[in-house]
Amino acid sequence: MGQDWSTLESLSFGDSPAMADALLGFVLAGAKTATCWSIADGQQTEVGKRMVAKDGDGRPRAVIETVSLEQKRFCDVAWDFAAAEGEGDETLEDWRAGHRAYFERNGGFAPDMLVWCERFRLVEVIGEGAGR
């Protein structure tokens, strides 16, 4: 029996329904345990906070819990963090190129821009495909 997640804040990964579905798929598969966003978007979580991750159609699919959160300059994000994002990047350069494009689409990019770097854990799969 899972927790009552109905009162938790929610989020969708990425900036489109297709991206939300793809990134959520990595979370559900256990490959994605980190994410980042521009400091300009504010501090959206804190260590210990649980949130509901939604799919591209806005359906609740998982509960995640923040296990670490720090600010870094984009150019200082290391490969171990980039790899934990679990998005299939094979090198730090691949990760940087993909995230640069994302940030350019969503408010601007600079190599020294500050980003929030969050590591999280999957607490529970909910909704469709939960297998419960």
Closest CA to 126 of 15, 19, 20, 28: 28
User: Residue ranges of the domains in the chain?
Assistant: 10-125
Whole-number pLDDT of residue 106: 94
pLDDT(129) > 70:
no
Whole-number pLDDT of residue 10: 96
Mean pLDDT along residues 68-93? 96
Average pLDDT, the chain: 93
Mean pLDDT along residues 68-85? 97
Fold of 10-125: Sulfate adenylyltransferase (3.10.400)
Whole-number pLDDT of residue 132: 38
